[in-house]
């Protein structure tokens, strides 16, 4: 497995706290209802743009060791370049 400038993601990246969505709350009065509806409509308009990325999953111990060697090599190169 060759590594280049690719993102290494873990499953945790995709987990998002949703407990606040399930809480009960009370909206009373016409003005509050309108403000709430407007806020929901605005949030639907401003959705983040999904950026596709190229990801390779590390599945074996050998792949993990190779990745760690690659990471260590790049860190040394960066350190040497800054001490230049």
Instruction: Please indicate whether residue 26 or residue 22 has the higher confidence score (pLDDT).
Output: 26
Q: How far is it, in rounded angstroms, from Cα 53 to Cα 6?
A: 8
Domain ranges (residues) in the chain:
11-83
CB 67 within 8 A of CB 8: yes
What digits encode the pLDDT tens for the residues 35-79?
888 888 888 887 778 888 888 889 999 999 999 999 999 999 988
SS3 breakdown of the chain: % helix, strand, coil, rounded to 5? 55, 0, 45
CA trace torsion 14, 12, 72, 69 (10° rounding): -90
Q: Would you call 56 exposed, middle or buried from its count of C-beta atoms within 10 A (0-12, 13-18, 19+)?
A: middle
């Amino acid at each position: 497995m060759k590594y280049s400038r690719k993102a290494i993601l873990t499953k945790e990246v995709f987990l998002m706290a949703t407990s606040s969505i399930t809480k009960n709350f009370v909206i009373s009065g016409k003005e509050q209802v309108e403000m709430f509806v407007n806020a929901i409509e605005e949030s639907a308009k401003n959705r983040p743009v999904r950026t596709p990325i190229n990801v390779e999953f590390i599945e074996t111990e050998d792949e993990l060791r190779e990745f760690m060697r690659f990471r260590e090599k790049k860190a040394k190169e960066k350190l040497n370049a800054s001490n230049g």
